[in-house]
Amino acid sequence: MTGARAKAWVLWSIVVLCVVTLSLPTLIIIGASFTSGDIIRFPPDGFSLRWYEELASERAFWDALWRSFYVSVICTVLSIPVGTLAAIATVRYRLRLRRTLQIYLLLPFTIPLVVSGIGMMIFFGEIRILGQLWPVGIGLCVINLPFMIWAVSASVNSLDPELENAAANCGAAPVHVFFTVTLPAVTPGVITGGLLMFVLAFNEFLVSLFLVDSRTVTLPVQIYNNIRSVITPDLAAVSVVYILFAVVAVWLLDRIVGLEIFLRSK
């Protein structure tokens, strides 16, 4: 039985190490945001909500938060129909060059983000839409689109095509079949994908860095810009906004599809 104990010991020490490393920054940020001092140090200077009060009165923060929300909504609203249709097409329809098309649709993951970002910056500049906010949403949609397609593909894969055939056999025309059989069946995938798209757009940094300017700066870019100058606790308070947001997202994901869905074998 010593073998089993050694195994458990090795596995558990690594898992605990991982959990601590994953969670420590989050916990530290939450703690640091409540300091009453002007800089972050340990042990903290005392407890206060002053950094949250300062944050609440800071116009730049609310503007950046609103812009991040706006681009995330554009990204999500665009990705839902585009990704869903693409997933259905790649899984259900007979396509010539299926393999090539699938690889093409993975380009957002294989092209480095820094290259995608600068490439879109150049193109948006050429067609004179750079500096507006909505193209940022489109850019974020492009770079994360494979997540949406992947999430919906999983749902389409588990939908028995005979159900659609049965509906068609009973006289439902194609659009009817799509809206009454296919779409309801893939809805969990669409919701998962939409949630992922929203969250990823909300905290996307690198591509946003290239597509925004000083008037359209989004929240992650603003945090990054401030990190580079000086580390003050107000940034910790901003970061807590992200942590809260992530908690809600994880909770929603768990409620809607269950986190365990990611544990299934293929």
Closest distance of CB 51 from other proteins, Å: 13
State in angstroms the smallest separation of the CB of 64 from other proteins: 12
Is the Cβ of residue 59 or residue 99 nearer to other proteins in the bound state?
A: 99
- At CA 211, angle to CA 239 and CA 231, rounded to 5? 30
Q: Which residue has the tokens 């042990």?
A: 43
- Report in angstroms the alpha-carbon separations of 262 from 16, 102, 164, 198, 257: 21, 22, 26, 18, 10
Q: What share of the chain is helix, strand, coil (3-state, %, to 5)?
A: 80, 0, 20
Question: Burial, 245: exposed, middle or buried (Cβ in 10 Å; 0-12, 13-18, 19+)?
Answer: middle
Phi then psi dihedrals of residue 51, to 5 deg: -70, -30
**Closer residue to other proteins (CB): 14 or 56:** 14
* Closer residue to other proteins (CB): 48 or 226: 226
Alpha-carbon span 250 to 105, nearest angstrom: 27
Question: In this complex, which beta carbon is closest to other proteins, that of residue 190 or of residue 235?
Answer: 235
Q: Which is nearer to other proteins, 59 or 97 (CB)?
A: 97
Shortest Å distance, C-beta 13 to other proteins:
9
We find the least distance from the C-beta atom of residue 132 to other proteins, in angstroms, to be 15
Q: Which of 246, 258, 132 is nearest to 198 (CA)?
A: 246
CB of 57 to other proteins, least distance (A): 22
